[in-house]
Structure 1
Amino acid sequence: MRRLLLIPPDTRPPTLELPASLARMTGVEVGVPPARALPAFFTPGDTDALRAWLLKMVAGADALVVCLETLCLGGMIPARRVSDSLEVALERLKVLREVKERRPGLQISAFGVIVRVAHDNDPHEEKPYYGQWGRELRAYSAAFDRLARHGESERGALDAARAALPADILADWLGTRERNRALHLEALNLLAEGVLGHLCLTLDDTTPYGLAAYDRRLLEARADELGVWERLDIYPGADEVPCALIARALRPGPHRVWVRYSGLGGAETEMLYEDRPAGELVRAHLRAAGCVPAETPDGADFVLAVNTPGLRQAHRQPDFATVDTPHRHLPAFVDALRAELEAHRRVSLADIAYPNGAESRLWTMLQGLPLARLAGFSAWNTAGNTLGTAVAFGVLAPLVTDRAAHAGALFARMVDDVLYQSWARYAVRDRLSDPSPFDLGPQREAAETLLRELITPRIQALWERHFAGQGLGLELGPPHLAWPRLFTGVFPLTVTADRG
């Protein structure tokens, strides 16, 4: 494959630079739309410009990975906020038929995100009224699904939840969900027609009960009717899906993967932002990237090492009630990783013990291992985000032609997932004056100044400890924030091969 086109969900490093870097480390050229065409936070991208760019670039492309929400509604976050009609969204979707007609051999992999029911009352990533009515909308969501699944015994809870909400707000919120679900149903038709080669419909920040689960069942029923399950995945995930689909496009499977958990019961542990236990989540992410479980480590293409909580994820670490419990034994897990590396097996490490960053205790234990020899590393945001990224690293490891590019992608994850998400963003927050988690406002400049002061020395130290002395050099730009909030940092870095 020579060239891959990517239309991402937005411009954050994990959704744009990360998947692009995974492709580039294999020698593939990656084309992405101009920044002006892509969404910026909750500001929609330019869908007309995206269409024009796609039609212009398709002639020289071998594969396309496209976010349906960006193509049709201006972005993953704008898709929860804009008032564009279903008719307009479906008209924009037709460009995929057009590019397939122009280039029949083009591999088109698409993904859509089933509208989440946000856990936090975020008025920026959701519609503005969610900041006031989020709790009530979540109650309605759960009650509706419980009624749909368990019958009239749940009717009272749904009536009470509906009565607690202004009718116009509920109607608008449900209308947005129905429009996006209809877009996904049409994408299933494109899959059945052969326009799409593979489709992922994922659940972002989901729970066992809620409207996302209800939508999932409707989409699954339509998939049953169309008979498209061989080329379809519906599972919890979102931001990491471009990585999985790029891995699938560049290295078709099946790839055999040996999964090693940090505890004997790791597959049964509970996640905070997913609707299923860790083991089922792992299986879903393996399938999305074209992988199957291996019977033994010796028969595997790579080892997926998964650090799970003892019983259930928790937000704050250390957590000795549900995460760091006797249900797992981290020293033995680290010993096993060392043995795998010494046996020259490819190992990709997914740390899902806590959401939104690596586990500090595990990271400390890992310092005696040659971390630069890992095929992949991931520990960011939800368990799904982490798993999809780690699996993609593992799948693509045999195709790496640019050692510096691989080291850069690996190091970038350690910088973001360990140094920033697990430490620096909390250190910065503690030095600000009661910052909002949704919008820093005038404190953004101070936050970015603090970030540069705190994290830059640690980035350099991490490089010196694990990556220096291998014929590679590091060029580091000034760290800053992706959006006016602390949740996502940007760490411009380039790894180069020393000339000598």
Structure 2
Amino acid sequence: MGKILGAAALFLSAAVLLFHLVFHPAPAGIWYAPDSTPQGSTHRPILLVPLDSRPPCKDFVIDGGKIIGREIVTPPAAYMDYYTQPGNTESMRAWLTEHLGNADTAILSVDQLLSGGLLAAREAHISDTDIASLAAYLRTLHAAHPQVSLHAFYILPRAVPQDGIEGWRERRALLAYARLLGRAGEGLPVDEDEMERLRTAFPSAYLQKYLAHFEESTALAAMLIGLTEEGVLTRLVLGQDDGEEHSVGNLKKMELAALLEKKTIAPERAMIVHGADEIALSLLARISVDELRARGGEAPRISLRYADAAMRDMVFPFMAVSNGSTAQEKIAMLGAVQSDMAGSDLTLLLSAGDSDADTLGSRSSAASAVKEMIAAGTPVALVDLSRHFRAEETLLPILIERNVPVHALTAYAGWNTASNAIGTALAEAVLYHCAMQNAVTVQERVHITRANLSFLTGRIAEDAFYLKETIDRVNGVLRSAGWQNTADLDLARNWRWANDLLSYDLARRTESADTTAALRAPFVQHGLHLRVTRSNITAYYPWPRTFEIRMEAQPAVEISP
């Protein structure tokens, strides 16, 4: 009977397949790439303790893992933070202890392990006991699983005063005073009278709390540097959250840089960078580069190009350094090598639109350059910055207008800060490059290409269509109905409505873009002939605010060798 049922099932399956091929034939020579992960990977999973539960800190890393065929395992949602509610650090550490032996690598957010996420860490008091306890935990973790590489990252405090410091006038005066402290600490001239005036505009207790936060953070970072020197941590990245050109944070960062110089730690094992949310994804790309080099491959060679030469030295909002310095820093962090155009594996093109600086005229020549590079087969990662976070300052609309095959880009990012966008675009491009260097079969190249196109399509939909257009329309409708604070949605009253607005507007925007020649244009990458026929975007608000969305992109892709 079992054989009869098995034969019947096989016949039915064959009949269904024949029906599909007869009545719904695929175009000649076209493959519809499968979603499954290639089999045969010898790697064990990578554990990720995310900075927080926002998609860039967690989902981007999972999606980046799909590009290189690596499973990224994350903690249960019940242990993670949720908006202003901190994660359960005790449960998080227990989970990590339990599962570390099943992995060969872990990417660990110290902010999550110690404070329960980035937002909680911004307000947390870090005692000497807290620091000692975390050090003991990490040493025990390493001793139990010495074969597992621990890649840790910690975010240094931002310049903006903690939310626990009340009064917008007092907070503004304290921030202005802290900027002058930063200038004075760097040996730059300051207006002493202005400092004295600002000093009387907030209570002394506010300044003490503000400065103590930096002292505590510096002590924690110094402990982590010590663990890296001991070999407990394989790699340590200290990121700077929402930096400024002059700040108390910059002074403490200089102290930590001086400490690193005294230690016997190779520069690639411990570094200080600008940024926060993108660091876990960057660490994944760095791990991929390390593995490529361990197999005898070469580090990716990356050339830098700017839509306008002046954009290299621009300092964009929430940054302490220029766009050019940030790009060079990110290339080094990924273990890549900066190269000239002729000898590079990929090009990072940085467009930094600023209507106040009259840079928008550069977009035409930049679009032509992108089109030429794509036609020549040069992989291009596009960073599409906007000083005022407006679509009219970005390059993408010009690419679409000029029928440049947008899906032929290797990577795209136009997130809210230069470090976020540069770090994300470079990490995606490097992951894609490393994966293709390791690919042997056509099927592997097909899977890698699909995964990268999903990442790329999601970045275009969120960074360009949502953050530059849809978010303003959603916020406008909410405000017209009486909700002025869209940064704090009411889950019981307007969250579902906001999600409906988001779904409708973003679907309308992406479907409109999908009909353009730029997004439907066929292109060739790594020997595969490709065309994206539909973006297939779904999105919703993961937190009760409109600033970020959780997005899934499952583009329909025609692929043929």
The answer to whether the superposition gives a TM-score over 0.5 is yes
| C-alpha distance after superposition, 1:183-233 (max 9, x if no partner) | 111111111112222222121211111111111111111111214334222
Structure 1 distance, partners of 2:170, 2:260, is: 33
Aligned to 1:462: 513
**Pairwise mapping of residues 198-209 of structure 1 onto structure 2 (< 5 A)?**
198-209=235-246
Aligned to 2:395: 362
Instruction: Quote how far apart the aligned CAs of 1:437 are.
Output: 4.9
Say whether the 8 Å CA contact 1:355–1:383 is kept in structure 2. no
Structure 2 distance, partners of 1:451, 1:237, is: 28
Other structure's SS at 2:56 match: coil
Aligned to 1:444: 495
Aligned to 2:144: 102
TM-score for the superposition, normalised by structure 1: 0.89
| C-alpha distance after superposition, 1:296-333 (max 9, x if no partner) | x2311211111124xxx5xxxxx2x215355xx22221
- Pick from 285, 298, 301: which aligns with 1:247? 285
Aligned to 2:413: 378
Aligned to 2:171: 134
Confirm whether residue 257 of structure 1 aligns to residue 302 of structure 2: yes
Structure 2 distance, partners of 1:68, 1:305, is: 32
Aligned to 1:190: 227
**Gapped regions of structure 1 (runs ≥ 5):** 314-318
Other structure's SS at 2:86 match: coil
Instruction: Quote how far apart the aligned CAs of 1:69 are.
Output: 0.6
**Pairwise mapping of residues 391-410 of structure 1 onto structure 2 (< 5 A)?**
391-398=426-433, 399=435, 401=444, 402=447, 403-410=449-456
Instruction: Quote how far apart the aligned CAs of 1:337 are.
Output: 1.1
Structure 2 distance, partners of 1:283, 1:152, is: 29
Distance 1:53 1:356, change over 3 A: farther
Structure 2 distance, partners of 1:19, 1:483, is: 19
- Pick from 370, 374, 382: which aligns with 1:349? 382
Structure 1 distance, partners of 2:549, 2:168, is: 23
Distance 1:151 1:207, change over 3 A: closer
Aligned to 2:357: 322
Other structure's SS at 1:350 match: strand
Say whether the 8 Å CA contact 2:278–2:420 is kept in structure 1. yes
Instruction: Quote how far apart the aligned CAs of 1:388 are.
Output: 0.2
Structure 1 distance, partners of 2:188, 2:285, is: 42
Say whether the 8 Å CA contact 1:89–1:183 is kept in structure 2. yes
Instruction: Quote how far apart the aligned CAs of 1:158 are.
Output: 4.0
- Pick from 238, 244, 249: which aligns with 2:276? 238
Aligned to 1:279: 324
**Gapped regions of structure 2 (runs ≥ 5):** 1-42, 294-298, 437-443, 523-529
Structure 2 distance, partners of 1:499, 1:377, is: 21
Other structure's SS at 1:11 match: coil
Say whether the 8 Å CA contact 2:413–2:424 is kept in structure 1. yes
Distance 1:333 1:468, change over 3 A: closer
- Pick from 291, 297, 302: which aligns with 2:336? 291
| C-alpha distance after superposition, 1:470-496 (max 9, x if no partner) | 587879575322322221122234347
Distance 1:463 1:192, change over 3 A: farther
Other structure's SS at 1:251 match: helix
Aligned to 1:316: none
Structure 2 distance, partners of 1:166, 1:390, is: 43
Say whether the 8 Å CA contact 2:386–2:394 is kept in structure 1. no
Structure 1 distance, partners of 2:386, 2:238, is: 25
Aligned to 1:150: 187
| C-alpha distance after superposition, 1:158-187 (max 9, x if no partner) | 444333222333323332332222111111
Say whether the 8 Å CA contact 2:458–2:537 is kept in structure 1. no
| C-alpha distance after superposition, 1:258-298 (max 9, x if no partner) | 11110133312232221222211111111111122102x23
- Pick from 540, 545, 550: which aligns with 1:480? 540
Distance 1:361 1:65, change over 3 A: closer
Structure 1 distance, partners of 2:206, 2:49, is: 31
- Pick from 467, 481, 484: which aligns with 1:435? 484
Instruction: Give, as a single letter, the amino acid of the residue that structure 2 aligns with 1:31.
Output: V
Confirm whether residue 172 of structure 1 aligns to residue 232 of structure 2: no
Distance 1:325 1:477, change over 3 A: closer
Structure 1 distance, partners of 2:96, 2:452, is: 28
Aligned to 2:469: 423
Structure 2 distance, partners of 1:43, 1:302, is: 41
Distance 1:263 1:438, change over 3 A: same
Say whether the 8 Å CA contact 1:358–1:379 is kept in structure 2. no
- Pick from 343, 346, 351: which aligns with 1:307? 351
Instruction: Quote how far apart the aligned CAs of 1:462 are.
Output: 3.4
Say whether the 8 Å CA contact 1:351–1:358 is kept in structure 2. no
Other structure's SS at 2:416 match: coil
Distance 1:472 1:99, change over 3 A: farther
Confirm whether residue 15 of structure 1 aligns to residue 57 of structure 2: yes
- Pick from 289, 296, 314: which aligns with 1:269? 314
| C-alpha distance after superposition, 1:65-114 (max 9, x if no partner) | 11111111111111012345342244134333223222223222221111
Instruction: Quote how far apart the aligned CAs of 1:149 are.
Output: 2.6
Instruction: Quote how far apart the aligned CAs of 1:498 are.
Output: 7.9
Instruction: Quote how far apart the aligned CAs of 1:420 are.
Output: 0.4
Distance 1:483 1:404, change over 3 A: same
**Pairwise mapping of residues 34-45 of structure 1 onto structure 2 (< 5 A)?**
34-45=76-87
Say whether the 8 Å CA contact 1:285–1:391 is kept in structure 2. yes
Number of aligned residue pairs: give it: 483
Instruction: Quote how far apart the aligned CAs of 1:9 are.
Output: 0.9
Larger Rg: 2
- Select between 473-482 and 8-17 the one with higher mean Cα deviation: 473-482
TM-score for the superposition, normalised by structure 2: 0.80
Confirm whether residue 387 of structure 1 aligns to residue 431 of structure 2: no
Distance 1:363 1:165, change over 3 A: same
Structure 1 distance, partners of 2:217, 2:86, is: 15
Say whether the 8 Å CA contact 1:198–1:232 is kept in structure 2. yes
Say whether the 8 Å CA contact 1:448–1:481 is kept in structure 2. yes
Distance 1:250 1:230, change over 3 A: closer
Structure 2 distance, partners of 1:139, 1:89, is: 30
Distance 1:260 1:384, change over 3 A: same
Structure 2 distance, partners of 1:137, 1:13, is: 32
Instruction: Give, as a single letter, the amino acid of the residue that structure 1 aligns with 2:375.
Output: E
Distance 1:240 1:153, change over 3 A: closer
Structure 2 distance, partners of 1:105, 1:263, is: 47
Instruction: Quote how far apart the aligned CAs of 1:12 are.
Output: 1.2
Identity across matched positions, percent = 24
Aligned to 1:181: 218
Two-structure CA RMSD over aligned residues (Å) = 2.7
Distance 1:58 1:473, change over 3 A: farther
Say whether the 8 Å CA contact 2:514–2:535 is kept in structure 1. no
